[in-house]
């Protein structure tokens, strides 16, 4: 996610610490969802490394893509975790028996320069685009026969993160992309939604 703010008045935490806390939390949440037997410790442990790889690439690079595209436009940007988002990430899989995941534990906050609607749309699209590129790379590994189950799951995590973040609902990335260019939003979101709903 991306937020444009007027000033840097709340960035007391360390950005790396925020990314690490969010990575651990989302990894645990995805492990709950990917477990073949819900709340089975053995099943949970078996998918935990896969979730860690998927989130370590998908979530972290998603947020860094937002950050560095914002910097490209001359703004300053920092990731900060969101306490409610972290709580929802763990609680929702538990109360929905592993059927629902809220994957928005924080956001990149942009400040220091006025950002246009187009620039904000492109910055917001950068994160899901990074997930799509990663998913394609991991699918190539999977189809090559190199640990197919592992890489299919890692690809799924990236596809899910892209699709979830492109939902046209504030404050998710999709709301900014849609506000900038609905056609471009549709080109990215519709195929992802089809894959998530009908393939995985």
Residue 164 covered by a domain: yes
Q: Which residues contact 159 (CB under 8 A, 6 or more apart)?
A: 131, 132, 135, 192, 195, 196, 200
Confidence band, pLDDT 50/70/90 cuts, at residue 200: low
pLDDT at 7 over 70: no
Residue 199 covered by a domain: no
State the number of CA atoms in the 13 A half-sphere of 110 facing the CB.
26
Residue 196 covered by a domain: no
Asked whether the beta carbons of 111 and 4 are under 8 A apart, the reply is yes
β-bridge mates for residue 2, sequence order: 108
Q: Is pTM, for the whole model, over 0.95? A: no
Q: What is the pLDDT of residues 42-75, one digit of tens each?
A: 889 999 999 999 999 999 999 999 999 999 999 9
Domain that holds residue 183: 2-191
Question: To which residue do tokens 């506000």 refer?
Answer: 179
The strand order across the sheet containing 2-4 reads 2-4, 106-111, 76-81
Q: Highest-confidence range of 29-38, 116-125, 190-199, by mean pLDDT?
A: 116-125
Q: Return mean pLDDT, the chain.
A: 90
pLDDT at 125 over 80: yes
Residue 93 covered by a domain: yes
If you average pLDDT over residues 87-107, what whole number do you get? 88
Q: Which of 15, 36, 63, 114 is catalytic?
A: 63
Rounded to an integer, what distance in angstroms lies between the CA atom of residue 48 and that of residue 190?
A: 29
Residue 141 covered by a domain: yes
Residue 136 covered by a domain: yes
If you average pLDDT over residues 162-174, what whole number do you get? 94
Number of domains in the chain: 1
Q: Is 63 known to be catalytic?
A: yes
């Amino acid at each position: 996610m991306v937020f444009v703010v007027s000033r840097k008045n709340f960035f007391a935490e360390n950005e790396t610490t925020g990314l690490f806390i969010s990575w651990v939390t989302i990894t645990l949440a995805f492990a709950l969802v990917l477990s073949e037997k819900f709340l089975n410790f053995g099943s949970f442990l078996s998918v935990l490394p896969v979730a860690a790889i998927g989130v370590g690439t998908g979530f972290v690079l998603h947020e860094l893509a937002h950050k560095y595209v914002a910097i490209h436009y001359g703004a300053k940007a920092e990731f900060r975790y969101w306490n409610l988002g972290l709580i929802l990430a763990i609680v929702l899989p538990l109360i929905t028996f592993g059927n629902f995941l809220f994957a928005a534990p924080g956001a990149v906050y942009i400040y220091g320069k006025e950002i246009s609607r187009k620039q904000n749309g492109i910055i917001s699209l950068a994160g899901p685009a990074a997930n799509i590129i990663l998913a394609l790379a991991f699918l190539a590994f999977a189809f090559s026969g190199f640990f197919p189950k592992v890489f299919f799951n890692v690809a799924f995590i990236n596809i899910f993160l892209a699709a979830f973040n492109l939902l046209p609902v504030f404050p998710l990335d999709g709301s900014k992309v849609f506000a900038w260019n609905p056609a471009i939003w549709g080109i990215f979101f519709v195929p992802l939604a089809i894959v998530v709903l009908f393939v995985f």
